[in-house]
Structure 1
Amino acid sequence: MSKLEKLLIKLDRNPRNFDFKDAETVLKELGYKLDNKGKTSGSRIIFVKENSRIILHKPHPRKELLTYQIKQIRNQIKGMIDNDE
């Protein structure tokens, strides 16, 4: 089982602790590109793929995403998978 598959399974279980780095890995493997909107964006980042955008605030000083961010990523990925079928 690949790292991506393991992370997708973990994400599907609606975890309370999902690191930003893990989310970044999943989204990049699924074809999203990271855009931090230049020098003045602060911690706001956007993952973009075709017509799909996920806007997040990079957590600091903690590494874990907040619950609403995890749900946002899960919903976006599920929507993308449903559209592919």
Structure 2
Amino acid sequence: MTRREKLIERFLSMPSDFTYDELVSLLKRFGYQEDNKGKTSGSRVEFKRDRSSTSIVFHKPHNSSTIKLYVLKRVLNDLRNDGVML
């Protein structure tokens, strides 16, 4: 099993300790690029894909690098809507 497959499998299991860095790595492997809106965006990050008009937006975690479960679920839903995951 490749590193990418392991990361996808871990993401799909919705672990309570999935980190921001893991999520960024996963999104980049699917062709998304991080797009900051400058200094005024605060902790909000946006990921866009060249072939898609949709974007994935969420806030960076505070005090911890762990991503909340509701964010993981929303990202999974966005990936499915974008046709990246089944």
Is the shorter-chain TM-score for this pair beyond 0.5, marking a shared fold? yes
- 1:54 aligned to 2:56? yes
Equivalent residues in 2 for 1:16-27, closer than 5 Å = 16-27=16-27
Which letter does structure 2 place at the counterpart of 1:44? R
Map 1:5-24; keep pairs closer than 5 Å: 5-24=5-24
Q: For the residues of structure 1 that align with 2:79 and 2:17, how far apart are their CA atoms?
A: 18
In structure 2, relative to structure 1, the CA distance for the partners of 1:42 and 1:82 (3 Å cut) is: closer
Structure 1 unmatched ranges of 5 or more: none
Whole-angstrom CA distance in 1 between matches of 2:85 and 2:60? 27
1:2-81 to 2 correspondences below 5 Å: 2-49=2-49, 50-79=52-81, 80-81=83-84
Q: What TM-score, normalized by structure 2, do the two folds share?
A: 0.85
Measure, in 2, the Cα distance between the counterparts of 1:55 and 1:44. 7
**Matching residue's letter, 1:73:** V
Per-residue CA deviations over 1:11-69 (Å, capped at 9, x if unaligned) read 11122221000000000010001011111111100011121211110012200111111
- Sequence identity, in percent? 35
Cα-Cα RMSD: 1.6
5+ long unaligned stretches in structure 2: none
CA–CA distance in 2 between the matches of 1:42 and 1:3?
31
Q: TM-score, normalised by structure 1?
A: 0.86
